[in-house]
Structure 1
């Protein structure tokens, strides 16, 4: 089954059995947005550098979320930075739409409950473990020395930016993760794409964490 890089990220970011989110929302939401933007880059729809995102090919990909983002980028005359794009794109609504889509296609199960009988909670346990298993197998092969394709490298870079790598791949070689995340293995164009996606995700996660900390301190 074909899933987006953002959906692969979400599978890795939830526990298999209980479907609980295993990293903070302030880390996950910018990372999900970064994964969508990076997918447009690896499919040659946009060019991604640290300073700007520019359209290369406005042809839709046939995915609702990716095509909506592509249309928004194409509609703007002045190029914006990846970090700016992520700041506008990231949201709990986007995350929920992608999780719901995974549930609709039978990859996850949506389970509603409450905490202390008062606070609603949604869990996303796996219904079809084979999808995440394939993702983990692909990533694990790269982390143990296989040559990565751009799509897998981008996923690893964003997983690393969100500090999810230690939880999703606890036994992975940290040096190898960093090597992939920096694009050191790749040609110039691919390396720039990976570096830009990684930098944008880190910037957005840092900004979100800072905002959450400020709000907590002022409450």
Structure 2
């Protein structure tokens, strides 16, 4: 089964049995939107730098979520920074759509309930663990020393930036994670993509944290 980098991120970001988030939405959502941009870059549809997101090729990839974002970037009419696009995509709440898509494919289950009989909750436990198992195997191999392909390198960088790596791969070498996440080993295009996404995520997480703090004290 083919899944996107964003969907791979989601599978690792939720506990397998209980289907609960392992990190806060403030960390997860910027990473998820960064994953969408990174996948477009890895597939040579856009080019990422610290200052701009530039469309290189408008040919669709055959994925509704990715193609929709590519069309939005192309239609924007002016170049924007990666962080601008991360924040823009976050406002569209792609996490729910991608989780629902994984349910429709039989990878996850959707379980709704209530807390204290009032507040509605939704959990997303695994229905088919083989997809995540394949992702874990690929990531674990790279963390153990194998050369990662661009998709895997981007995924590890996203996991590290969102602090998911510590929960999912607690025994991994911190030095190896940092090496991959910084992209110094990679070809220039991949390294630029990782650097731009890391910077955009950091800015988006900081902005979201400030907004949440302001709302809590107002």
TM-score (norm 2): 0.98
For residue 214 of structure 1, report the CA deviation from its aligned partner: 1.6
Aligned to 1:129: 129
Say which SS state the counterpart of residue 93 (structure 2) adopts: helix
- The aligned runs of 1:20-169 (5 Å cut-off) are 20-91=20-91, 93-169=93-169
**Structure 1 residues 57 and 6 mapped into 2: Cα distance closer, same or farther (>3 Å)?**
same
- Comparing 125-134 with 196-205, greater Cα deviation is found at 196-205
Instruction: Write the distance in 1 (CA, Å) between the matches of 2:58 and 2:68.
Output: 11
Say which SS state the counterpart of residue 54 (structure 1) adopts: strand
TM-score (norm 1): 0.97
Instruction: Write the distance in 2 (CA, Å) between the matches of 1:158 and 1:142.
Output: 14
| Moved segments of 4+, more than 3 Å | none
- The aligned runs of 1:155-194 (5 Å cut-off) are 155-194=155-194
How many residues align? The count is 218
Say which SS state the counterpart of residue 213 (structure 1) adopts: helix
- The answer to whether 1:3 aligns with 2:3 is yes
For residue 91 of structure 1, report the CA deviation from its aligned partner: 4.1
Structure 2 residues not aligned, in runs of 5+: none
Instruction: Write the distance in 2 (CA, Å) between the matches of 1:179 and 1:207.
Output: 26
Instruction: Write the distance in 2 (CA, Å) between the matches of 1:125 and 1:51.
Output: 38
Instruction: Write the distance in 1 (CA, Å) between the matches of 2:118 and 2:188.
Output: 53
Instruction: Write the distance in 2 (CA, Å) between the matches of 1:181 and 1:102.
Output: 26
Structure 1 residues not aligned, in runs of 5+: none
